[in-house]
């Protein structure tokens, strides 16, 4: 028993910890930063003021994680973020294709819990910062309300991923809040004060059908007059969660210090909306429905943005400017909202896409005046306009992974973040990131330590794509449809034979297109155009375009819409081979064509996007001569996803025992092997609400094994669903040969491998 006499004062229980990096904020950014740094070998403390990780993606807020794939609604092909965030999203899709937010919490908690180099402090809020001099942080103080403990956390390096920048603000880092004027960075999309300079917060709700009549008595603080919401006619009884992203408020207030007031206003809105749905009589289908969950903290979109040595701006995004220190990429539209949010007469968002993904420089990821402070997440060094794109969680987490890796390099090299901008250091950072699966557009991994670079590579077969067979269903050409095929510079476009069914005599227009920028997938350049007279009935058409391209790129064979025509799908799926359609996707402001009505500094172009699986099949055709760009040698070209070429070894579809053979003239000592499989970087893996048709991406190799030069099986894996697989041999392998046997997962999907690396 503890019994103490009365006293004037008692001290809080204090615990002091030292680490190499303290990450403040356990949203997706802080989590991915901490895991990346910990895996790179440094000791990390991750401090999160909530009971779960994930911030806006957690079950407390329930936003689906988005990034450059943009729900597959823009022209960014194979643009899902790689590295830790990819691993998390694939794990979630494997366990949780239904998108249950509680399961997503467990995925994040497990990932962090399994890292021996991370000390995780949950329910612990950082509230104070100590400096060793004017520019250097020495420690932060944090309090855990659950265990009544005050933590003093010291480190040579800190990363602020708290969303509001609690550390950076407290320590005096230069920041901005609001919007830059057009003149400061020449951003034509800079909003007016009337439109608003800050994005507001949102609170979501989930509903469920109980199967019996349920009444709803609204709380006294619920909005009574729904007409105060100008867009109230858009409500349906079906939409819930982040589908109602436009229940937004607070953009005219201080989105840090007024957050509690904003929350009450959002509760008023949420309960008022549900009162309207339940009790207005306009939604009889809602009679048996009940509120299952309402957020208790708002999702915060925007507050402070901190200044780094570079501020990414609109032109970086739209013009896809290149940076020597690129470490991440973005690809969500520039997505600004009216500050009046749900009470605005204006559309809930104003989104403008770029023609492809854009680079994010390392110089945006640290404070310009606090020497040992990384910044990650929505607070990175971006103008308000650029933030409109960089803020989404896939992109935020991707930049944060770069900050985590940079922190590890800084710690090991005894450097501060700015010193890493020196070109030799940046190259190391880019290479280390790429080794963890972080694709950086415009860069490829150069790794002299990789033994595969000196191996002779051969394979049991290499696909020569001569045919996408006509074994799928027929589809009406209601929307223009295209087949993407890779083409090497200077190689003539092969002859294409395809089949159509015409319900009456008609003209079919076919265009061969490519992107203005060879690494984009915006088919804006018409290389050839043919108008083909087609008589009623089933016909084959022969397309000889007689052109070649100047750079390696994807070409689009575009069949312009014609309601009299049907074409045939192929059931065969091949890594890096896709069809695309000129349809609309209003959820991401894709109306078929982006057409700014005034000069906003954004481009006009068409959207050609794949259909989501289980659709999204290739268009059946014959290709003569066949495309032979799926060579075994691709596995060491330094790029582990399709870009302007497939970058994969792909076995022939008839190959029942696809095998990759690596041979060296001398015996090699191998301790580690890294493999990358195709988990379809084109497919967005939204974490909640959106259902996914599969738990394992169809291109992913699930079962594989490795043999040495004595044909002994040295490794075997079954049931893989991840992009990356690391094999660590604690007793090294000595061999002149490695044979990688890959099992076909599906009869209609070609076996592929994106990358293999071996290390001593
Ligand atoms: C309503 C809404 C809709 C959006 N829609 C989408 C969408 O559909 N998809 C998408 O990808 N993005 C969306 N965004 C943007 C995205 O959610 C944010 O920009 C993103 O969460 C930023 O990530 P972050 O890690 O920087 O911040 P957060 O997710 O906010 O994470 C920061 C974490 O730090 C913690 N923290 C704060 N202060 C402290 C402290 N003092 N001590 C310790 N921890 C602290 C917070 O509790 C939080 O968990 C939306 C945002 C909002 C608000």
Distance of CA 162 to the CA centre of its chain: 20
d(CA 278, CA 291): 10
Closest approach atom of ligand 1 to CA 400? 25
pLDDT digits (tens, 9 = 90+) for 671-718: 999 999 999 999 999 999 888 999 999 999 999 999 999 999 999 999
Pocket of ligand 1 contains residue 48 by CB under 6 Å: yes
pLDDT digits (tens, 9 = 90+) for 25-41: 999 999 999 999 999 99
| CA 230 vs CA 197, 237, 589: distances in Å | 21, 18, 20
C-alpha count within 13 angstroms, C-beta hemisphere, residue 336: 22
333 CA to middle of ligand 1, Å? 18
| Residue 563 structure tokens | 């309601």
613 CA to middle of ligand 1, Å? 29
Average pLDDT value for the chain: 97
Ligand 1 atom 12: residue of nearest CA: 392
Residues with Cβ within 8 Å of residue 540, at least 6 apart in sequence = 497, 498, 499
Pocket of ligand 1 contains residue 125 by CB under 6 Å: yes
Q: Does domain 451-462+630-759 have CATH number 3.50.50.60?
A: no
The dihedral over CA atoms of 405, 406, 412, 417, expressed in degrees to the nearest 10, equals: -160
Ligand 1 atom 17: residue of nearest CA: 56
Domain range annotation of the chain? 13-177+308-435, 201-294, 451-462+630-759, 465-627
* The pairing of beta strand 593-594 with beta strand 506-514: unpaired
Task: Give the ipTM.
Answer: 0.99
Place of tokens 């084109």: 682
Q: Which of 481, 652, 658, 509 is nearest to 580 (CA)?
A: 481
pLDDT digits (tens, 9 = 90+) for 325-377: 999 999 999 999 999 999 999 999 999 999 999 999 999 999 999 999 999 99
Pocket of ligand 1 contains residue 202 by CB under 6 Å: yes
Q: Answer whether 13-177+308-435 and 465-627 agree in fold.
A: no
Mean per-residue pLDDT, 143-159: 98
Pocket of ligand 1 contains residue 378 by CB under 6 Å: yes
Ramachandran region, residue 152 (left: φ > 0; alpha: ψ -120 to 50; beta: rest): beta
d(CA 477, CA 571): 18
Pocket of ligand 1 contains residue 25 by CB under 6 Å: yes
d(CA 222, CA 664): 73
d(CA 489, CA 235): 51
pLDDT of residue 246: 92
Pocket of ligand 1 contains residue 49 by CB under 6 Å: yes
Question: What pLDDT band is residue 640 in, cutting at 50, 70 and 90?
Answer: very high
d(CA 31, CA 41): 16
Q: Is 707 helix (H, G, I), strand (E, B) or coil?
A: strand
55 CA to middle of ligand 1, Å? 5
Q: Does domain 465-627 have CATH number 2.60.120?
A: yes
d(CA 575, CA 752): 7
383 CA to middle of ligand 1, Å? 18
pLDDT of residue 691: 87
Pocket of ligand 1 contains residue 166 by CB under 6 Å: yes
Burial class (CB in 10 A: 0-12, 13-18, 19+), 257: exposed
Pocket of ligand 1 contains residue 341 by CB under 6 Å: no
Return the sign of the alpha-carbon dihedral for residues 625, 626, 630, 633: negative
Mean per-residue pLDDT, 192-215: 96
Pocket of ligand 1 contains residue 126 by CB under 6 Å: yes
d(CA 406, CA 429): 6
d(CA 394, CA 378): 11
Pocket test for ligand 1, best of 201, 393, 687, 688 (most atoms within 8 A of CB): 393
The dihedral over CA atoms of 167, 172, 173, 174, expressed in degrees to the nearest 10, equals: 140
Q: Which of 191, 174, 193, 163 is nearest to 259 (CA)?
A: 163
Pocket test for ligand 1, best of 55, 198, 376, 380 (most atoms within 8 A of CB): 55
Burial class (CB in 10 A: 0-12, 13-18, 19+), 152: middle
Asked if 509 and 529 count as a contact pair (C-beta separation under 8 A), the reply is yes
466 CA to middle of ligand 1, Å? 47
Asked if 271 and 223 count as a contact pair (C-beta separation under 8 A), the reply is yes
Q: Does domain 13-177+308-435 have CATH number 3.40.50.1970?
A: no
Pocket of ligand 1 contains residue 690 by CB under 6 Å: no
194 CA to middle of ligand 1, Å? 26
163 CA to middle of ligand 1, Å? 6
Ligand 1 atom 20: residue of nearest CA: 393
304 CA to middle of ligand 1, Å? 12
Pocket of ligand 1 contains residue 396 by CB under 6 Å: yes
Pocket of ligand 1 contains residue 66 by CB under 6 Å: yes
| Residue 377 structure tokens | 């997440």
Asked if 294 and 61 count as a contact pair (C-beta separation under 8 A), the reply is no
148 CA to middle of ligand 1, Å? 26
Distance of CA 594 to the CA centre of its chain: 22
Pocket of ligand 1 contains residue 609 by CB under 6 Å: no
C-alpha count within 13 angstroms, C-beta hemisphere, residue 464: 6
Pocket of ligand 1 contains residue 410 by CB under 6 Å: no
Q: Which residues of 296-305 are buried (b: 16+ CB within 10 A; e: fewer)?
A: ebbbbbbbbb
Pocket test for ligand 1, best of 27, 51, 120 (most atoms within 8 A of CB): 27
Pocket test for ligand 1, best of 50, 52, 63 (most atoms within 8 A of CB): 63
Closest approach atom of ligand 1 to CA 29? 25
Pocket of ligand 1 contains residue 342 by CB under 6 Å: no
Mean per-residue pLDDT, 169-192: 97
Q: Is 401 helix (H, G, I), strand (E, B) or coil?
A: helix
pLDDT digits (tens, 9 = 90+) for 269-305: 999 999 999 999 999 999 999 999 999 999 999 999 9
Residues with Cβ within 8 Å of residue 407, at least 6 apart in sequence = 20, 21, 33, 37, 42, 157, 159, 374, 417
To which H or E segment does residue 746 belong?
Answer: none
Pocket of ligand 1 contains residue 23 by CB under 6 Å: no
Percent of the chain with pLDDT over 70: 100
278 CA to middle of ligand 1, Å? 31
d(CA 433, CA 430): 5
| Residue 719 structure tokens | 């049931």
DSSP letter assigned to residue 448:
T
DSSP H helices, 259-351, are 259-279, 314-318
Mean per-residue pLDDT, 598-627: 97
């Amino acid at each position: 028993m503890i019994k103490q006499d009365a006293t004037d004062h008692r001290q809080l229980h204090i615990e002091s910890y030292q680490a190499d990096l303290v990450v403040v904020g356990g949203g997706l950014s802080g989590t991915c930063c901490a895991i990346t740094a910990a895996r790179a070998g440094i000791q990390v403390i991750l401090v999160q003021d909530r009971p779960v990780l994930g911030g806006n993606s957690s079950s407390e807020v329930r936003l689906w994680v988005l990034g450059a794939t943009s729900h597959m609604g823009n022209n960014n092909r194979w643009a899902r973020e790689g590295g830790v965030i990819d691993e998390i999203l694939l794990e979630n899709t494997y366990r949780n294709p239904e998108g249950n937010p509680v399961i997503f919490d467990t995925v994040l908690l497990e990932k962090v819990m399994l890292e021996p180099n991370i000390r995780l402090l949950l329910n612990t809020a950082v509230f104070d910062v100590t400096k060793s001099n004017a520019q250097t942080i020495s420690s932060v103080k944090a309090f855990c309300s659950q265990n009544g403990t005050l933590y003093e956390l010291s480190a040579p390096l800190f990363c602020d991923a708290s969303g509001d920048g609690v550390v950076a603000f407290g320590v005096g880092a230069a920041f901005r809040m609001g919007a830059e004027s057009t003149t400061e960075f020449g951003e034509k999309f800079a909003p007016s004060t009337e439109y608003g300079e800050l994005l507001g917060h949102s609170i979501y709700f989930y509903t469920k059908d109980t199967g019996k009549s349920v009444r709803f008595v609204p709380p006294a603080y619920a909005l009574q007059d729904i007409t105060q919401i100008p867009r109230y006619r858009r409500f349906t009884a079906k939409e819930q969660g982040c589908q109602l992203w436009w229940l937004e408020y607070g953009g005219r207030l201080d989105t840090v210090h007024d957050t509690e007031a904003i929350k009450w206003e959002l509760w008023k809105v949420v309960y008022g909306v549900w009162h309207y749905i339940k009790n207005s009589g306009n939604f009889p289908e809602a009679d048996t429905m009940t509120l299952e969950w309402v957020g208790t903290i708002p999702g915060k979109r925007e507050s402070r943005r901190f200044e780094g040595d570079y501020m990414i701006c609109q032109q970086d995004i739209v013009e896809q400017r290149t940076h020597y220190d690129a470490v991440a990429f973005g690809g969500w539209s520039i997505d600004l909202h009216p500050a009046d949010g749900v009470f605005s007469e204006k559309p809930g968002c104003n989104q403008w896409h770029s023609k492809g993904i854009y680079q994010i420089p390392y110089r945006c990821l640290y404070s310009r005046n606090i020497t040992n402070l990384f910044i990650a997440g929505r607070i990175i060094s971006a103008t308000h306009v650029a933030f409109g794109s960089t803020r989404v969680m896939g992109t935020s987490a991707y930049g944060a992974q770069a900050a985590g890796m940079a922190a590890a390099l800084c710690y090991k090299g005894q450097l501060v973040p700015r010193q890493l901008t020196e070109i030799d250091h940046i190259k190391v950072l880019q290479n280390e990131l790429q080794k963890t699966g972080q694709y950086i557009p415009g860069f490829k991994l150069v790794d002299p330590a990789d033994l595969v670079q000196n191996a002779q590579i051969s394979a049991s077969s290499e696909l020569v794509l001569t045919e996408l067979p006509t074994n799928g269903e027929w589809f009406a050409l209601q929307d223009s449809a295209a087949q993407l095929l890779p083409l090497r510079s200077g190689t003539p476009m092969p002859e294409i034979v395809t089949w159509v069914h015409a319900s009456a005599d008609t003209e079919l227009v076919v265009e061969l297109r490519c992107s203005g920028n060879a690494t984009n997938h915006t088919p804006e350049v018409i290389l050839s155009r043919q108008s083909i007279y087609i008589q009623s009935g089933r016909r084959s058409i022969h397309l000889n375009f007689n052109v070649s391209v100047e750079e390696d790129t994807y070409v689009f064979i575009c069949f312009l819409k014609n309601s009299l025509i049907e074409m045939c799908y192929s059931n065969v799926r091949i890594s890096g081979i896709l069809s695309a359609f000129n349809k609309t996707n209003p959820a991401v402001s894709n109306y078929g064509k982006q057409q700014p009505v005034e000069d906003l500094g954004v481009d006009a172009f068409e959207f050609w996007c794949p259909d989501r699986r289980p659709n999204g099949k290739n268009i059946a055709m014959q290709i003569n001569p066949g495309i032979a760009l799926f060579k075994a040698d691709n596995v060491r070209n330094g790029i582990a996803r399709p870009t302007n070429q497939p970058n994969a070894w792909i076995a022939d579809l008839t190959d029942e025992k696809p095998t990759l053979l690596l041979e060296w003239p001398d015996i090699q000592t191998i301790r580690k092997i890294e493999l990358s499989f195709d988990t379809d970087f084109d497919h967005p893996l939204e974490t909640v609400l959106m259902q996914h048709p599969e738990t394992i991406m169809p291109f992913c190799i699930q079962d594989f094994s490795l043999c040495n030069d004595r044909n002994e099986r040295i490794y075997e894996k079954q049931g893989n669903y991840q992009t990356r697989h690391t094999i660590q041999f604690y007793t090294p392998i000595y061999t002149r040969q490695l044979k990688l046997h890959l099992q076909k997962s599906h009869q209609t999907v070609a076996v592929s491998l994106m990358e293999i690396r071996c290390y001593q």
